[in-house]
Amino acid sequence: MRKLSTLCVLCLSSVAAHAADNGFYVGAGVGATDITSDETGDDFGYFKGSYKLIAGFRLLDSLAFEASYLDFGTVDLAYDSDCSGSPSCAVYTVPVAAKAFSGYAVGFLSFPLLDAFAKLGVATVEGKTSPAYAGSFGTEKKTDVAWGAGVQVHFGSFAVRGEFEQFKLRSSSDLKLLSISVLYTFL
Confidence at residue 119, expressed as pLDDT on a 0 to 100 scale: 97
Region of 20 on the Ramachandran plot (φ > 0 left; ψ -120 to 50 alpha; else beta): alpha
Is the pLDDT reported for residue 67 higher than 90?
Answer: yes
Is the pLDDT reported for residue 132 higher than 70?
Answer: no
Cα dihedral sign for 128, 132, 133, 135? Answer: positive
* 155, 183 contact by CB (below 8 A): no
Q: Which of 46, 187, 60, 68 is nearest to 123 (CA)?
A: 68
Q: Among 6-15, 127-136, 150-159, 174-183, name the one with the lowest average pLDDT.
A: 6-15
Please report, for the domain that includes residue 152, its CATH number: 2.40.160.20
Beta-bridge partner residues of 39: none
Is the pLDDT reported for residue 89 higher than 60?
Answer: yes
* Number of structural domains in the chain: 1
Beta-bridge partner residues of 116: 109, 151
Is the pLDDT reported for residue 123 higher than 70?
Answer: yes
SS3 call for 113: coil
**Residue 9 pLDDT class (50, 70, 90 cuts):** very low
Whole-number average pLDDT of the chain: 79
Confidence at residue 33, expressed as pLDDT on a 0 to 100 scale: 84
Q: Mean pLDDT over residues 91-107, rounded?
A: 84
End-to-end CA distance of the chain: 33
**What domain range includes position 177?**
2-185
Distance of alpha carbon 154 from alpha carbon 112, whole angstroms: 9
pTM for this one?
A: 0.74
Is the pLDDT reported for residue 175 higher than 90?
Answer: no
Distance of alpha carbon 177 from alpha carbon 166, whole angstroms: 6
Helices (H), the chain: 2-19
DSSP structural state of residue 133: -
pLDDT in tens, 29-55: 999 888 766 554 455 566 778 899 999
Distance of alpha carbon 110 from alpha carbon 121, whole angstroms: 21
Is the pLDDT reported for residue 8 higher than 60?
Answer: no
